[in-house]
Amino acid sequence: MTESSLVNNRFPRSNAYSPEWIMSSASGGANSVWLTEWLAEILELRPGMKLLDLGCGRAASSIFLAREFGVQVWATDLWFDPYENMLRIRDAGVTDGVYPIKANARDLPFAAEFFDAVISIDAFSYVGTDDHYLNYLARFVKPLGTIAIAQAGFVNELDKEPPQHLDEWLRSEPLLRSMHSPSWWREHWGRSGIVDVVNAEMMLNGWQCWLDWHRTIAPDNHLEIQTIESDRGENLGYLRVVGQRRANANLDYTNILIPSNYTAAPLLRQ
């Protein structure tokens, strides 16, 4: 691997990070730092904001956000060891800004309306495609807060039978069928009445970034590399979707065991 392997003029902030660090922090099929930078371009991130990084993997996205934007990030994942992430966070010098959490995305240990924003990098399709999950997740975001995702997806929804050059790859991993297009996500979130979708789009030449990453990180993954090479962006690429929680969103809290009955009272004796 050469120093230029993961340099891309599309992602100037990411270029400051060493290829060794990015590769050692890899946890999935996409360069999480590239996708995080691309998503952050259209978010209003301010120092001190509280972010949930849902499905953070090895926390590279969380570290990047804390270093680049001064936000506080709860790096949350079910599969990756939070102790390992703590060591990576410590070595990156952001222990006062990134907090590793082990949690199931459907059983999050946070207070309602705790976060200014939720982001998910190359992970949301694992949990977010059903009709109920957005209602659950939105409770953790302040009214008018942001829910934003960036991940692999389709340019347009596939017909029942995918193109021949995609068929073997899609059959090799059933979870790939949970990928969707920007228009699908716009409609899926929009009909919920919970968020206003303010952005849903494909990355320009995102397939090339996908291909460059796999050639570097997983050169033996011949099937995926050949699929992306054959497709050349006709069907596959990276997408980002941003929604703003409506101030008057009607959320269902029925799975909270004991309903909240908090009433404000004076803290100190007068």
Cα 54 off chain centre by = 6
DSSP, collapsed to helix, strand or coil, labels residue 34 as helix
pLDDT in tens, 95-124: 999 999 999 999 999 999 999 999 999 999
The class level of CATH for 14-152+180-204+237-245 reads alpha beta
Taking the model in full, what pTM does it have? 0.93
Q: How far apart, in whole angstroms, are the C-alpha atoms of residue 170 and residue 266?
A: 59
Name residue 5's amino acid: S
pLDDT in tens, 5-44: 689 999 999 999 999 999 999 987 899 999 999 999 999 9
Q: How far apart, in whole angstroms, are the C-alpha atoms of residue 145 and residue 195?
A: 9
Cα 88 off chain centre by = 19
pLDDT in tens, 37-80: 999 999 999 999 999 999 999 999 999 999 999 999 999 999 99
Domain coordinates of the chain in residue numbers? 14-152+180-204+237-245
As given in the structure block, the two tokens for residue 68 are 């680049």
Residue 255 reports pLDDT greater than 70: no
pLDDT in tens, 178-216: 899 999 999 999 999 999 999 999 999 999 999 999 999
What is the distance between the terminal CA atoms of the chain, rounded to a whole angstrom?
A: 68
